[in-house]
Amino acid sequence: MPAHDSPGSSLAAVRDARPLVHNITNHVVMNTTANALLALGASPVMAHAPDEVEELAAMAGALVINIGTLDQPWIAAMRLAALAVGRAGRPWVLDPVGAGATGLRTRTALGLLALGPSLLRGNASEILALAGEAGDLPRGVDSTVGSEAAAEAATALARRAGCVVAVTGAVDLVTDGSRALRIANGHPMMTRVTGTGCTASALAGAFLAALPDPLAAAAHALAMLGLAGERAAGGEVGPGLFQTRLLDELYRLGPAELDEGARIS
Ligand SMILES: Nc1ncnc2c1ncn2[C@@H]1O[C@H](COP(=O)(O)OP(=O)(O)O)[C@@H](O)[C@H]1O
Ligand SMILES: Cc1ncsc1CCOP(=O)(O)O
Ligand SMILES: [Mg+2]
């Protein structure tokens, strides 16, 4: 795979590859996530039956595991899928929804993290909880602190887990433990509809499937979603319309506009 050093060229690579992205995700966002991947130009499949996840994980360009609505059969399926995608040498993303809020979520996320995802993407409270920091626990699935509060924890966790860690918020932070990128795209309206974090993780899966560098892939996916959010929130818009317009902007945004609008430092 060639290197893609601009977000626009990464977006073009994703659309060229139209990667199959296997999602084991939560009941709340399944439809939203599938539509976001389709709007971007990727091909989603949602599947969590333990009997089929290994087959799917082995054929997909990337796997996204999201622990938003957990129970024991799903946890078993998540572990099987993570191991299968690892054997196939493909990238996978872990979204630790609500880690820190309950013991089940924290234990499950830490167990999956030990299986070696390419990217861990969460909000600041989730990343702090997984790094073992006390305090600032999530309110359910929402962060109680800004992303900068988890910057040191993210770096330490990236080193310890050997993966890229992305902390989202008003400014997103992406680190592999030595390099760090900040993405200043986005809009507060993104916190007023459910599933934007889950969408961030799923889009990152599509970018990881098409690109060789997980740090750049994650940063470019987050710039894409953030810029789409800014454009979707333009004018008088409430959460209902925003959700629909976000899909339209993920579809409309082209490589040149992404290069122009991305604020990555
Ligand atoms: N206050 C904000 N201003 C602008 N963008 C935001 C803000 N909060 C979150 N975002 C964006 O919303 C998306 C989801 O992030 P976040 O809300 O942190 O995830 P989660 O839904 O998992 O808690 C990311 O693209 C992030 O950049
Ligand atoms: C509200 C909720 N409850 C369990 S999963 C979920 C969706 C969380 O989505 P996001 O992390 O993208 O806000
Ligand atoms: Mg989330």
Domain ranges of the chain: 7-261
**pLDDT of 1 above 50:** no
Query: Which atom of ligand 2 approaches the CA of 68 most closely?
Result: 5
Output the average pLDDT for the chain. 96
Q: Considering the entire predicted model, what is its pTM? A: 0.98
The DSSP letter of residue 2 is -
> Quick one: angle between helices 214-232 and 239-252, nearest 10?
130
According to the model, what pLDDT value does residue 5 have? Answer: 83
Closest CA to 195 of 160, 157, 229, 238: 229
The pLDDT confidence band at residue 253, using thresholds 50, 70 and 90, is very high
Main-chain dihedrals φ then ψ at residue 16, nearest 5 degrees: -65, -45
172-175/164-168 β-pairing = antiparallel
Query: Which atom of ligand 2 approaches the CA of 97 most closely?
Result: 11
Q: What is the DSSP string of 224-249?
A: HHHHHHHHHT-SS--HHHHHHHHHHH
96 lines ligand 2 (CB under 6 A): no
Q: Is 189 annotated as a binding residue?
A: no
Fold of 7-261: UDP-N-acetylmuramoyl-L-alanine:D-glutamate ligase (3.40.1190)
ipTM: 0.99
According to the model, what pLDDT value does residue 4 have? Answer: 54
Q: pLDDT tens, 17-50? A: 999 999 999 999 999 999 999 999 999 999 999 9
Where are any strands of DSSP class E within 114-183?
Answer: 119-123, 164-168, 172-175, 180-183
CA–centroid distance, 227 to ligand 3, in Å, is 18
Q: Is 46 annotated as a binding residue?
A: yes
Query: Which atom of ligand 1 approaches the CA of 141 most closely?
Result: 23
Closest CA to 118 of 234, 205, 184, 6: 205
Q: pLDDT tens, 186-221? A: 999 999 999 999 999 999 999 999 999 999 999 999
**pLDDT of 166 above 60:** yes
According to the model, what pLDDT value does residue 61 have? Answer: 98
